DNA sequence: GATCCGTGGCC
DNA sequence: TGGCCAAGGAT
C-alpha cells in the first residue's frame, strides 16, 4: 500500500526520534499499577479499562479488580454479577462482559496463556486493533503498532498528517507510520512513550511544546500548525429520552429492582422499575399503567415525583422523574426482577443514573 | 461508514 | 454551565 499522507516520514531521523522519545519516557513515565510487571493478563485488563477512560479514573478500579480477580483462572470462574459489580461506575459495561468471555476462552482453549500472535489475540472478544497491538508490544515485546487517540494526535503533529482521525479508515495510515518508526529493540516502551507523550505533553488543546522531547522532529511545530492538528470532525446528535421510575417499598423495607436486558445499553445491570414516557400523557399515570401491565401491581404512587434526574450518556440523555410507592410484601414474581432488603441494594451493580435515584430515595427518607 | 455504548473531569 | 474530551470495539 502507498500512503500519500506519509510523505513527511522520510524527513524524520528515526533513530534520533526513538532515542529522544525513549530517553524522555524513561525519565518521566508515571508509576502506574499496571506497570509493576509484564503479566499479560494484567496488561490486558488495564488496556480494556483504559479504553475511552482516563488514567486517574482507572487506577482504583484496576487495583480492586486485580485484588478480586488476580489471575485468568479467578476471572474465568467468577460470577458475572461479581464482575459487573467490580466494574460498576466505569461505563461501557460490554467491555467487561467481553473481557470475561475472552478470559474464559483463554482459560479453556489456550491453557490459561494469553496468546501472543496477532491473529489469535485479535479473535478474542473485545480485543480490537489497538488492544491487540498494546498487549503484543507491552506484554510480549513484539513490534506491533498500538494506535489509539494519543498516538494519532502525536503522529499527526510530528508528520503533519491532515487525515481526519475521527474516521476509522485513518487508523491504518498511522499504523503504517508506526511500523516504520517503532523501536525494534523496545517496542513496549516506544508505544507507551507515544501514549505518555500524548497524555502529558502533546495534549489536545494546550500542548506543552516547549517541554516536548521530540519538538525538533515535529512538522507541525515547525509549521506553526500544532493547534490545527489533528483534524477531527465532531458529530453528536444527542437524543433525549424521558423516563419515569419507581422506588417501590414494602412494609418490611424491601425494594423492587429489575435486571436490564442482556444486550444494549447498560446490559445486565440492575435498576429500579421504569418506563419510557410518550411525552404526551401524565408521567405518574403512565408509570402506574406500566407497573400494572408489567408487574401486576395496583400501586398508588405518591402524587409528586421526589426527584428529577438528568443523566448524560455519550450519545443520549435521560430525564427521569422518580416516584415513590408502597407495595404489599407478597407481590407476584416477575422475570428478571427481585425484592431485596433496602440494606442489600448496594450489593447489586447499578448504573450511575440509578445509583443517583437510590441515593436520593434514601437521603430524603431517613 | 455510521451508530451505539458510560462516565467524570475540565474550562 | 454545558460542550468537549479520554489508552476503542462491536454491529
HSE-up of residue A141 (Cα within 13 Å, Cβ side): 5
Same domain, A268 and A136: no
SS3 at position A35: helix
**Is A47 annotated in the active site?**
yes
The verdict on residue A63 lying in a domain is yes
The verdict on residue A189 lying in a domain is yes
Comparing C-alpha atoms, which of A309, A326, A300 is closest to residue A247?
A: A326
Catalytic residue among A10, A27, A28, A47: A47
The verdict on residue A168 lying in a domain is yes
The verdict on residue A151 lying in a domain is yes
CATH code of the domain covering residue A262: 3.90.79.10
CA–C1' distance A206–B6 (Å)?
26
Q: Is the CB of A89 under 7 A from strand C?
A: no
Same domain, A14 and A57: yes
Paired strand residues for A255? A249, A340
Q: Is the CB of A235 under 7 A from strand B?
A: yes
Question: Which of residues A228, A263, A285 is at a domain's end?
Answer: A228
CA–C1' distance A89–C2 (Å)?
22
Same domain, A161 and A35: yes
Cα distances from A216 to residues A123, A127, A159, A243, A345, in angstroms, run 40, 35, 12, 54, 57
Question: Which of residues A228, A257, A276 is at a domain's end?
Answer: A228
Same domain, A187 and A260: no
Cα distances from A272 to residues A41, A46, A364, in angstroms, run 35, 31, 17
Cell reading at A61: 478500579
Q: Is the CB of A134 under 7 A from strand C?
A: yes
The verdict on residue A272 lying in a domain is yes
Same domain, A53 and A166: yes
Q: Is the CB of A200 under 7 A from strand C?
A: no
Residue A230 near residue A152 (C-beta atoms within 8 A): yes
Same domain, A167 and A249: no
Stretch (H or E) spanning A341: strand A337-341
Q: Is the CB of A203 under 7 A from strand B?
A: no
Domain count, chain A: 2
Per-residue pLDDT of chain A (366 residues; tens, 9 = 90+): 788 999 999 999 999 999 999 999 999 999 999 999 999 999 999 999 999 999 999 999 999 999 999 999 999 999 999 999 999 999 999 999 999 999 999 999 999 999 999 999 999 999 999 999 999 999 999 999 999 999 999 999 999 999 999 998 999 999 999 999 999 999 999 999 999 999 999 999 999 999 999 999 999 999 999 999 999 987 777 889 999 999 999 999 999 999 999 999 999 999 999 999 988 889 999 999 999 999 999 998 999 999 999 999 999 999 999 999 999 987 667 899 999 999 999 999 999 999 999 999 987 543
Structural domain boundaries enclosing A316? 239-363
> Nearest nt to A192, CA vs C1'?
C7
Residue A238 near residue A315 (C-beta atoms within 8 A): yes
Tell me how far apart the alpha carbons of residues A137 and A190 are, in angstroms, rounded to a whole number.
9
The protein residue nearest C4 (Cα–C1') is A234
Q: Which nucleotides of B are covered by protein (CB under 7 A)?
A: 1-9
What per-residue confidence (pLDDT) applies to A363? 76
Same domain, A203 and A304: no
> Which window residues (210-269, chain A) lie with Cβ within 7 Å of strand C?
232, 234, 236
Cα distances from A220 to residues A194, A202, A223, A225, A230, in angstroms, run 16, 11, 5, 5, 10
Q: Is the CB of A192 under 7 A from strand C?
A: yes
What per-residue confidence (pLDDT) applies to A279? 81
Q: Is the CB of A125 under 7 A from strand C?
A: yes
Cell reading at A248: 417501590
Question: Which of residues A228, A250, A272 is at a domain's end?
Answer: A228
Q: Which residues of A220-259 are buried (b: 16+ CB within 10 A; e: fewer)?
A: bbeeeebeebbebeeeeeeeeeebbbbbbbbeeebbbbbb
Amino acid at each position: 500500500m502507498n500512503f500519500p499522507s506519509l510523505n513527511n516520514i522520510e524527513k524524520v531521523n528515526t533513530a534520533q526520534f526513538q532515542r529522544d522519545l525513549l530517553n524522555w519516557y524513561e525519565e518521566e513515565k508515571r508509576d502506574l499499577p499496571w506497570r509493576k510487571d509484564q503479566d499479560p493478563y494484567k496488561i490486558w485488563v488495564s488496556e480494556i479499562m483504559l479504553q475511552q477512560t482516563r488514567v486517574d479514573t482507572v487506577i482504583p478500579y484496576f487495583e480492586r479488580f486485580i485484588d478480586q480477580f488476580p489471575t485468568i483462572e479467578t476471572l474465568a470462574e467468577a460470577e458475572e454479577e461479581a464482575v459487573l459489580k467490580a466494574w460498576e461506575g466505569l461505563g461501557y459495561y460490554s467491555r467487561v462482559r467481553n473481557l470475561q468471555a475472552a478470559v474464559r476462552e483463554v482459560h479453556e482453549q489456550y491453557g490459561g496463556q494469553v496468546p501472543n500472535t496477532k491473529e489469535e489475540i485479535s479473535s478474542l472478544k473485545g480485543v480490537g486493533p489497538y488492544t491487540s497491538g498494546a498487549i503484543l508490544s507491552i506484554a510480549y515485546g513484539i513490534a506491533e503498532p498500538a494506535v489509539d487517540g494519543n498516538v494519532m494526535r502525536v503522529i499527526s503533529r510530528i508528520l503533519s498528517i491532515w487525515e481526519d482521525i475521527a474516521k476509522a479508515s485513518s487508523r491504518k495510515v498511522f499504523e503504517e507510520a508506526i511500523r516504520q518508526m517503532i523501536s525494534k529493540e523496545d517496542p513496549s516502551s516506544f508505544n507507551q512513550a507515544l501514549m505518555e507523550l500524548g497524555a502529558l505533553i502533546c495534549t489536545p488543546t494546550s500542548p506543552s511544546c516547549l517541554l516536548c522531547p521530540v519538538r525538533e522532529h515535529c512538522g507541525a511545530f515547525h509549521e506553526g500548525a500544532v493547534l490545527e492538528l489533528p483534524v477531527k470532525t465532531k458529530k453528536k446528535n444527542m437524543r433525549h429520552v424521558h423516563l419515569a421510575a419507581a422506588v417501590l417499598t414494602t412494609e418490611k423495607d424491601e425494594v423492587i429492582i429489575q435486571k436490564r436486558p442482556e444486550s444494549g445499553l447498560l446490559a445486565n445491570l440492575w435498576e429500579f422499575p421504569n418506563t419510557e414516557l410518550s411525552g404526551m400523557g401524565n408521567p405518574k399515570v403512565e408509570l402506574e399503567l406500566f407497573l400494572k401491565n408489567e408487574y401486576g401491581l395496583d400501586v398508588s404512587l405518591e402524587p409528586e415525583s421526589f426527584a428529577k434526574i438528568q443523566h448524560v450518556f455519550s450519545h443520549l440523555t435521560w430525564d427521569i422523574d422518580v416516584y415513590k410507592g408502597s407495595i404489599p410484601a407478597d407481590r407476584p414474581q416477575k422475570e428478571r426482577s427481585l425484592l431485596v432488603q433496602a440494606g442489600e441494594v448496594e450489593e447489586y451493580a447499578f448504573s450511575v443514573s440509578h445509583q443517583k435515584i437510590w441515593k436520593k430515595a434514601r437521603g430524603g427518607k431517613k
